[in-house]
Structure 1
Amino acid sequence: MVFVSLVASHSDIDLETVALLSAGSSGVASAVLDGTTPVSGAVVLATCNRYEVYCEAPREDDVEAARSAVIAQISRASGLTEHQVSTALATKTGADAVDHLFSVGAGLDSAVIGEREIAGQVRRALIEAQQKGTASGPLVRLFQIASRTAKEVGTRTALGGRGLSIVSVALDLAADLSPDAGWADKSVVVFGTGAYAGATMALLKERGVVDLSVYSASGRAEAFVATRGGTALDDETLTAALASADVLVGCSGGDRRILAADIAALDRAERPLVAIDLALTHDFDPAFEDLDGVDLITLESVRMAAPTEQAEALREARRIVRTAADEFEAEQRERSADAAIVALRKHTQSVLEAEVEKVRAQHGCTAAAEEVEFALRRMMRQLLHVPTVRGRELAAEGRVDEYEAALETLYGISPAAAGQPAPSVKAAPPAALAHPPVDFGQAPGAGQCRATGTNG
């Protein structure tokens, strides 16, 4: 099993391209698992400044086919050509994919280093994949441990300790543009009802904003403000709110875009306006920058203004991430031997049962037969101990192929199941997977004799 991630983020390409790739992103994971591709699981992580697809391929030889399948689906969903998609997405496999996700979840790859919002987005990406049935067992473990690592970074380092986020940095920039007026005196309109809108509402209230309104083109503003406070706007009341607003915050990325002409047509009596556009697909016309009295803050502005965290905190955070990624990889390598070990045990079990049947046929359910059967099972358990331990040692060293080749050479065993996806976490927890359920230490035949009341 190999993890493959296809990554497009603010650090590599422009946000416009990220937005185009994200179009229709919700259906990519399901589409790529149509049974015609080598992809056995997929999770999509789409945020305001990144679009990433994590998938599972059976073997290294399947990586390119898996990548091509994902690219084809993104192309269909976004309308971009496969060449454009392929050029925009960087491919990471194996340990590189693991390390990247752990770094992303911990906020080390964010525009605002150490931001905590991304950890929640990683959790939500997994939940959505589980709800849609696209997350395989290994991917579930990968994302769960990524979230656990992010929490560890947050609690053990000073990184992000100031509560910095994309939203908070944007609001700091807005405050710097009008230093003479406090937030309590500002009228703010928020566009959108998603996670970023919720984070924005919370931060605005912390800063003392009282006059707070929410607009949603999809009509969800009423339900949104019912639990968060504020005033819900609709198409009829939006114009008046825009005319009296001091700050606009765009978090929706919907079809409705506020044009520069819409603002220019309002009677604002030379009232200054700050527009914060946090939506990938832009809630506000870029031409806002050309309007007198209007300042436009974009995601690019936030990235340029984001403070650099302390070097020591960054080093400690990266050490935690690296350690977690190494431990996860070591565990995955050990798991790679499970199928081969199970194949060996099944082979041995079949040989053992054949011999036990011969003993039963010759001696029946006698005490002597039970003793022979028990001795055979105990001997088989002892014989399997060293090959099992050695299999896990070789897997930890990344040499499971040698182990499988040895089984095929010595016993004619071809553990085809080794290339299949591991059982899901719910179906079989790690402790169970580490010890395949084959027990040679008891004698079922003897128990059967006593249960049936035959001579024994």
Structure 2
Amino acid sequence: MVLLSLVASHSDIDLETVAKISADASQVASVVLASASPVAGAITLATCNRYEIYCEVPRSEDVPAARSSVITQIAASTGLSEETVSGALISKTESDVVSHLFSVGAGLDSAVIGEREIAGQVRRALNEAQASGTATGSLVRLFQTASRTAKEVGSRTALGSRGLSVVSVALDLATDLSADPAWENKNIVIFGTGAYAGATMSLLRERKAHNISVFSASGRAEAFVSTRGGTAVDEESLEGALAAADVLIGCSGSDHRLMREDIAALDRGDRALIAIDLALTNDFDPSLGQLPGVDLVNLESVRMAAPDEQAQALHQAREIVQGATRAFALEQRERAADAAIVALRRHTQSVLEAEVEKVRAQHGCTAAAEEVEFAMRRMMRQLLHVPTVRARELAAEGRAGDYIDALETLYGLEIELPAAPASKGVCPVAAAGEPAAAEPAAEPLRQVG
């Protein structure tokens, strides 16, 4: 089996293009698996600044067809041309796939280096793929190892102690822009009620903010504030909340966009306004910041303002990721060797048992028959010793495929790698400390990454 990933992220292209690629592409994995594509399994990782799909295909020669089928489905779901989608997606295979995902999960590829929210999103991506039945055993192991690597980076480096995220950096920017840095004195309106809004609410509480209103275009604000606090506002009361607001925070990604003229029409007097737009598809009109007294903070602002990590901590984190990548690759090669060894032993065992039966049929349960059987089994163990040792050696060198090809050619064996079953029907469970599950499609939020 071969690992393949297609990646569109803030590191390589602008956020607007990432948003276009991400639009309505959440079901691509299921659709691709239901088609005639060679893709055996797929997991989608979609956040506020990346769209990535991880696939498993049978052979390296299947990679071009697999990539083409994924691009075709993304183009169909987003309305973009296949040429546009293909140009935006960078393909990675095998160890590059592993290294990239481990770096992403550890926060090393984020707008805010070392942020911890992406680790939870990697876990949720796996949970969702298992629930929908698109995750193969190899992909499950890949994502589980990515989560363990992220924990190791968090516990062994200074990156884990900073507690930074896109939300926290955005709130820091707003503090710097405000004439009054005290959040307890600010009137705040949050747009959205998904996981991102929940994380925002938690950070606002840490900063002692308490005048918080929540608006949801889909009417879920009441349920949201019932468990998290704050005041729910609807279409009728939204105008009053906006007129009194000091800070607006957009994290819904819905079609209900706050336009420049909506704010310009309000009687706000001389009250300054900070609008923090953290939705990939923009909750706020990008020209909002052109109004007098209005400052606009968006994802690009956060990326530009995110502090650089200490070189030593970043170097240490990358060493952990590289070590985990090598260990995962070795484990995969050893699994291939194990499968080949098992197949060879089964083959030789069947030949041995056939010969033993002939001896028993000819000589019965005599001492001579037992001696012959014992000698044959000892000889078989000796004959298998060198092929077993060579399998381990070739696996360590990354040449397990050569060993498998040789067995298939010499003995006509069909060797398949063992794979853990994709846990279909399992309900995703958020790990302790993660934000609540994202809200349904009416306010689709691709979260921080």
TM-score, length-scaled by structure 2: 0.90
1:425–1:363 Cα change, 3 Å: farther
Residue 234 of structure 1 is matched in structure 2 by: 234
Q: How many angstroms apart in 1 are the aligned matches of 2:232 and 2:379? A: 75
Q: Does 1:92 align with 2:99?
A: no
Cα distance change on mapping 1:43 and 1:405 into 2, 3 Å:
closer
In structure 1, the residue matched to 2:419 is 422
Q: In 2, distance between residues paired with 1:405 and 1:201?
A: 56
How far is the alpha carbon of 1:218 from its aligned partner?
A: 1.9
User: Which residue pairs with 2:162 in the alignment?
Assistant: 162
Shift of 1:364: 4.3
For residues 392-445 of structure 1, what are the alpha-carbon distances to aligned partners after superposition, in whole Å with 9 as ceiling and x for unaligned?
221221212321343245x43243x34x67344889xxxxxxxxxxxxxxxxxx
Q: Verify the 8 A CA contact 1:40 1:421 in the aligned structure 2.
A: no
Q: Name the CA distance, whole Å, in 1 between partners of 2:304 and 2:10.
A: 12
Work out the CA distance in 2 between the residues paired with 1:425 and 1:129: 8
Equivalent residue, structure 1, for 2:207:
207
Q: Provide the rounded CA distance (Å) in 2 between the counterparts of 1:375 and 1:199.
A: 69
The aligned counterpart of 1:62 is: 62
Q: 2:412: which partner in 1? A: 413
Displacement after TM superposition at 1:372 (Å):
4.5
Tell me what 2:433 maps to: none
1:368 to partner: Cα distance: 5.7
SS state at 2:26 partner: helix
Post-superposition Cα deviations, 1:131-190, rounded to whole Å, max 9, x if no partner, equal 111111111111111111111111111114221110001001111111324100001111
Equivalent position SS for 1:213: strand
Identify if the C-alpha distance between structure 1 residues 394 and 205 changes in structure 2 by more than 3 Å, giving closer, same or farther: same
Q: Note closer, same or farther for the CA distance 1:50–1:359 as it changes in structure 2 (3 Å cut).
A: same
Decide whether the 8 Å contact of 2:153 with 2:160 is kept in 1.
no
Give 2:392's aligned residue.
392
How far off is 1:380 after superposition? 2.5
- The answer to whether the aligner puts 1:20 opposite 2:58 as a matched pair is no
Contact 1:58 1:421 in 2 (8 A): no
Structure 2 partner of 1:252: 252
Mapped contact 1:192–1:215 kept (Cα < 8 A): yes
- After superposition, the Cα gap between the structure-2 partners of 1:164 and 1:403, relative to the gap in structure 1 and judged at 3 Å, is same
Contact 1:337 1:391 in 2 (8 A): yes
In structure 1, give the amino acid aligned to 2:121: Q
> Structure 2 counterpart of 1:412, which letter?
Y
- Distance in 2 between residues matched to 1:77 and 1:338, nearest whole Å: 41
Which is further off, 48-57 or 398-407? 398-407
Query: Map of 1:107-122 to 2, 5 A cutoff?
Result: 107-122=107-122
Give the SS at the match of 1:270. coil
360-369 or 241-250: bigger deviation: 360-369
Amino acid at match of 1:413: G
Which amino acid in structure 1 is aligned with residue 228 of structure 2? Answer: R
For 2:156 and 2:9, locate their aligned partners in 1 and report how far apart those are by CA, in whole Å: 27
Question: Relative contact order: is structure 1 or structure 2 higher (C-alpha 8 Å, sep ≥ 6)?
Answer: 2
Aligned counterparts, 1:363-374, within 5 A: 363-364=363-364, 369=369, 372-374=372-374
Provide the secondary structure at the position in 2 that maps to 1:296: strand
Unmatched segments (≥5 aa) in structure 1: 428-456
* 1:186 equivalent in structure 2: 186
Q: C-alpha offsets along residues 195-247 of structure 1, whole Å, 9 cap, x if unaligned?
A: 21111101000001011121111222222222211112222222221111111
Conservation of the 8 A alpha-carbon contact between 2:134 and 2:422: no
Contact persistence 1:192–1:214 (CA under 8 A): yes
> Which residue is 1:274 aligned to?
274
On the 8 A contact 2:33/2:39 being kept in 1, the answer is yes
SS of the equivalent of 1:337 reads helix
Cα pair distance change 1:259/1:343, threshold 3 Å: same
- Match of 1:217, SS state, is coil
Task: Tell me the percent identity.
Answer: 71
Deviation at 1:386, TM superposition (A): 2.5
Report deviation, 1:378: 4.4
Aligned positions, number? 424
Q: Distance in 1 between matches of 2:285 and 2:423?
A: 47
Secondary structure of the corresponding residue to residue 263 of structure 2: helix
Matched to 1:80, the amino acid is L
CA deviation vs aligned residue, 1:50-88 (integer Å, no higher than 9, x gap)? 110111111211111111111111111111111100000
C-alpha offsets along residues 230-281 of structure 1, whole Å, 9 cap, x if unaligned? 1122222222211111111111101111111111111112211111000000
Is the Cα contact below 8 Å between 1:334 and 1:393 reproduced in 2? no
Specify every segment of 5 or more residues in structure 2 that has no aligned partner in the other structure, as ranges.
425-449
CA 1:345–1:198 in structure 2 vs 1: closer, same or farther (change >3 Å)?
Answer: same
Report if the CA contact (8 A) 1:119-1:150 is conserved.
yes
1:220 to 1:154, Cα distance in 2 relative to 1, 3 A = same
1:285-319 alpha-carbon deviations (Å, 9 max, x no partner) = 11202211111100000000110011111111111
Given that residues 135 and 422 in structure 2 are in contact (C-alpha distance below 8 angstroms), is that contact kept between their aligned partners in structure 1? no
Partner of 1:315: 315
Structure 1, 188-197 or 356-365: larger mean CA deviation: 356-365
How far apart in 2 are the matches of 1:125 and 1:170? 25
**Which residue matches 1:328?**
328
Larger Rg: 1
Q: Equivalents in 2 of 1:386, 1:133: separation in Å?
A: 40
Tell me, yes or no, if the aligned pair for 2:8 and 2:89 is still in contact at 8 Å. Answer: yes
How large is the Cα RMSD of the aligned pairs? 1.9
SS at match of 1:108: coil
Q: 3-state DSSP class of the match of 1:180?
A: coil
CA contact (8 A) 1:259 1:284 kept: yes
- What is residue 432 of structure 2 aligned with on the other side? none
| Aligned partner letter, 2:179 | P
What are the residue-to-residue correspondences of 1:43-62 with 2, within 5 Å? 43-62=43-62
Distance 1:54 1:40 in 2: 11
CA distance in 1, matches of 2:320, 2:179: 39
The one-letter amino acid paired with 2:412 is I
